[in-house]
Chain A
């Protein structure tokens, strides 16, 4: 490895020591396991060697009072997996808040007539009152389903997204669902994604996946002719249109995208998925569970792919094509060649403006690793990355993307992230809405990497052009040079100061 990354490795180790010294001893001991510096990858015979090893503990409980950035199981189910399914009504079952704060916030694009045959940007809630807590909410839930049927008859189904109280007061939403499914001959899915379950959004993904298995698959006679090139895209939520910018490529390769889970999805796309020939997983973290199930039960193989940035898009397309043989491989080469001039033009335009710029990421799902090469395609370097709710297998996969010396932080706390940013002073930070404004106050360019900062798509070739433009406009905006009042004496300290 270059001296550079070893040097930054030393700085990163020091920064870890510094942040840990601030915690009470007990907390420092626990947090220590979540922070590390990527070490040199091990030589493994017969396997692609990882660039580095990212050895941290993950997927364990957040520590109280430290300002974790994580969400909850409800967020993982309603917000991520189920919410984008467009022709179903997703009921936030419990008090009003959860549905309110997650209302229309993930930018899961869809085509449809909202409130008539599509419902993604609506907030349906049972708005629990004290009497519902005391006497239980099952009767109310029945009535809600009746009213939904009356007022939104074109919905293809209903999911019941449990909020914390449901599991605590012992409601039997499964019984209500069974009863009403029979009555209306409509798919009704109870989801036990109460926010206190698990340690983050992650268990909510898993529970939501299991609900598809238990309450959607094999519930109807399907009239559907499967084809030889049928694939499902799994774990693309169509944020800012990501799934569309991916689908256009897969179709050009000669594949038929039978289902897109779950951005812009319909219930039919979920029901038919087991008939496909291959499952393509983008967000492994949130939807690997159902892919493993489909493999086991229906023999549908799955593979991961990455449609961020041209180098990963190309290698992913070739891997996918290999699965289908020469015809598709040939078409794929044609697609790669077709988009090559666009890729070259984009890199030509932005390389000199972005080359050598450093980036710190802190996101969820697949992004802490998947976007790394998109930045590298533009000449930028990742100096730190971490997952909100990753598991061990995510960190293993991260080693294939990041260089030795990269700072790795799992379930980072507000304090740690700010101190790391202050110490490293990267040229760009990519994280979420809660992190955006503190970072910008410190004078460091920022892009929201959950919502694409209201831009996107970032997937596919069309998305890469937007991604490159957005990183450029974030870093090279003149506002960052206006931070110092000219009459103030310049301090010796660097401009970025974290809160104490």
Chain B
């Protein structure tokens, strides 16, 4: 009997004990009707080949382990970035349970959202009644300042019209006449979570800006961060930089406090977020900048329509990407980049120079959202690394072209390949046939690490199996330091592990590296 009160064994050691191993072996033999081991081994080896890769990449219909979620997740995340805003997702209720769980598992934080709980009758008659009752209940129970409505695919397939439903609900007195109910149609069968983010942010801006007179306030700027699992660390870092510069700015959609509330005995359902009056006033800004181009294509179009200047970036991570953002902000705001920031830049460059011998020539596979992959590939090249595989399941043709352009700017990108629309099962074949030193992605990458032995660095949403990484920034020069250190730790840890076989590799196990 392996279990004892003195030393309680949980699943990891318990099932390695002889009793359990024997039991499971007997189960397999007697009841499971498994394939012979030899056939399993052969198939496993076959999946590592170029032949399998060709079949795998030729897939036209099946998707396996995609690195993308659906639109409403992005909309729920977006709504969390506005003051006292409750997400209301119109459609089936299970979806909302999924978004909330997904966000909570990553941030280790509460995630509040409600559903209009449509069922079969609503599928037949439409969900108007659900909207009317639902808004009334949400307004009364959760005391929001704003309710941001998005849709699940059920509501989209039956064609529910959010605008007229919300107006009807107003007429019925579900919410006061002047209560803010921005909305966005977010069909799950179009695009991905980054598009849902785009739609919801645009919905909020339209809600407040439509029909309003714009009086340009020179030198002011709006910044939209995009869907970002690192918003807690990143948004705070961004604000620190902008404050150092003395820029007059509005961060539109700031979920950094919402997903980082303190533990002091009080559950704050709402915390922080862009204030509603700030969203209103943001119409007058001279320019709106997006930190993630592929998260804000429609939103920026709308900003242009109202007369704002716009610019978009690809997740300002690393030296040159941060340079570009700061220079653009400086240009619009008329504020100089202060010496303090210049020194920060110098320190990041200094750190990269100190470590360059360990990074030069390292090969990487990078996957994630399109802007992140762009940023990561760029930074990798700045360190002398080679971004061998760049994959975004939600990457478009335009993204692919832009990636190729970026990779062509550096000799370190000359062998890089761009994989738009491919999934992590494709990545598995890529890693077996054209191996790399490091894999950069999210928690789902752990299965690739297990199968292919490629060390995984988690820098992308969602991160379920490591804690608190999102509390630290990745963007800006400070963020660059963090990314640099994370990569180096992975390299050094691996090297130490490979050289710590006692009596075998007592050499190479260097104290100073």
Q: Which residues of A contact B (CB under 8 A)?
A: 22-24, 26-27, 61-75, 87, 94-98, 100-105, 109, 111, 113-117, 121-130, 132-133, 140, 143-144, 147-148, 150-151, 153-154, 156, 163-165, 167-169, 195-199, 201, 240-241, 244-245, 247-248, 251, 257-259, 264, 266-269, 272, 338-339, 342, 345-346, 348-349, 413-415, 418, 432-434, 436-443, 455-457, 461-462, 465-466, 468-469, 479, 483-485, 495-500
Contact = CB atoms under 8 A, between A and B. Distances in A.
Interface string B67-89: 01111110000000000000010
Contacts of B447: 114-115, 121-122
B264 A123 contact: no
- The 9 lowest CB-CB distance pairs between A and B, nearest first, are A72-B94, A97-B70, A64-B134, A65-B134, A499-B269, A101-B98, A495-B265, A345-B5, A95-B188
A267 B33 CA distance: 9
Interface stretch (B136-144, B333-341, B483-491): B136-144
A483 B101 contact: no
B307 to A, nearest CB: 32
A129 B130 CA distance: 26
Contacts of A148: 62
Given A147-B62, A485-B264, A495-B265, A169 B157 contact: yes
Nearest to A156: B33
Given A129-B190, A196-B119, A342-B3, 15 more contacts: A22-B140, A27-B140, A63-B133, A65-B116, A66-B114, A67-B138, A115-B425, A127-B63, A133-B189, A151-B425, A163-B153, A195-B95, A456-B10, A466-B11, A483-B264
Contacts of B39: 154
A197 to B, nearest CB: 6
A268 B33 contact: yes
Contacts of B130: 64
Nearest to A418: B267
A480 to B, nearest CB: 9
Contact of A70 (B33, B64, B97, B109): B97
B94 A151 contact: no
Contact of A100 (B68, B123, B142, B263): B68
Contact of B62 (A61, A144, A196, A499): A144
B513 interface: no
B115 interface: yes
A441 B261 contact: yes
A225 to B, nearest CB: 10
Contact of A496 (B5, B73, B265): B265
B141 A70 contact: no
B117 to A, nearest CB: 5
Given A24-B140, A266-B33, A123 B65 contact: yes
B1 A338 contact: yes
B92 to A, nearest CB: 4
Interface string B135-164: 111101111000000001110011000000
Contacts of A259: 31
B14 A195 contact: no
27 contacts: A22-B141, A23-B140, A23-B141, A66-B114, A67-B112, A74-B94, A94-B189, A116-B43, A147-B59, A151-B56, A154-B43, A169-B157, A195-B154, A196-B91, A196-B123, A241-B14, A342-B1, A413-B141, A438-B110, A441-B262, A443-B265, A456-B10, A457-B11, A465-B3, A465-B4, A466-B8, A499-B112
B208 interface: no
Interface string B92-106: 111101111110110
B263 A164 contact: no
Interface stretch (B18-26, B241-249, B404-412, B504-512): B18-26
Interface in B442-458: 444, 447, 451
Contacts of A433: 101, 104-105
B27 interface: yes
Interface of B: 1-6, 8-11, 14-15, 19-20, 23-24, 27-28, 31-35, 39-40, 43-44, 47, 52, 55-56, 59-66, 68-73, 88, 91-95, 97-102, 104-105, 108-120, 122-123, 130-131, 133-138, 140-143, 152-154, 157-158, 187-190, 192, 261-270, 425, 428, 444, 447, 451
Contacts of B70: 95-97, 100
A80 to B, nearest CB: 12
A143 B101 contact: no
A263 B402 CA distance: 46
A137 B130 CA distance: 28
B32 A441 contact: no
Most buried by B among A124, A163, A196, A438: A196
B63 A258 contact: no
Contacts of A114: 447, 451
B267 A113 contact: no
Most buried by B among A69, A128, A457, A495: A128
A313 to B, nearest CB: 13
A443 B154 CA distance: 38
B5 A97 contact: no
A346 B39 CA distance: 45
Contacts of A267: 33
Contacts of B6: 345, 349
A111 B138 CA distance: 45
B261 A75 contact: no
Given A434-B101, A437-B109, A116 B47 contact: yes
A228 B110 CA distance: 51
A352 B32 CA distance: 44
A66 B61 CA distance: 38
B266 A497 contact: yes
A48 B134 CA distance: 43
A35 B154 CA distance: 30
A444 B36 CA distance: 51
B162 to A, nearest CB: 14
Given A62-B93, A415-B141, A498-B267, A95 B153 contact: yes
A72 B93 contact: yes
Contact of A96 (B69, B131, B261, B444): B69
Contacts of B71: 97
Nearest to A150: B55
A75 B268 contact: no
Contacts of A198: 119-120
Nearest to A100: B69
Contacts of A168: 123, 154, 157-158
Given A63-B117, A128-B189, A461-B3, A244 B93 contact: no
Contact of A442 (B1, B34, B102, B267): B267
Given A150-B55, A455-B10, A434 B111 contact: yes
Given A165-B154, A196-B92, A434-B104, A65 B190 contact: no
A65 B88 contact: yes
A339 B1 contact: yes
A117 B40 contact: yes
Nearest to B265: A495
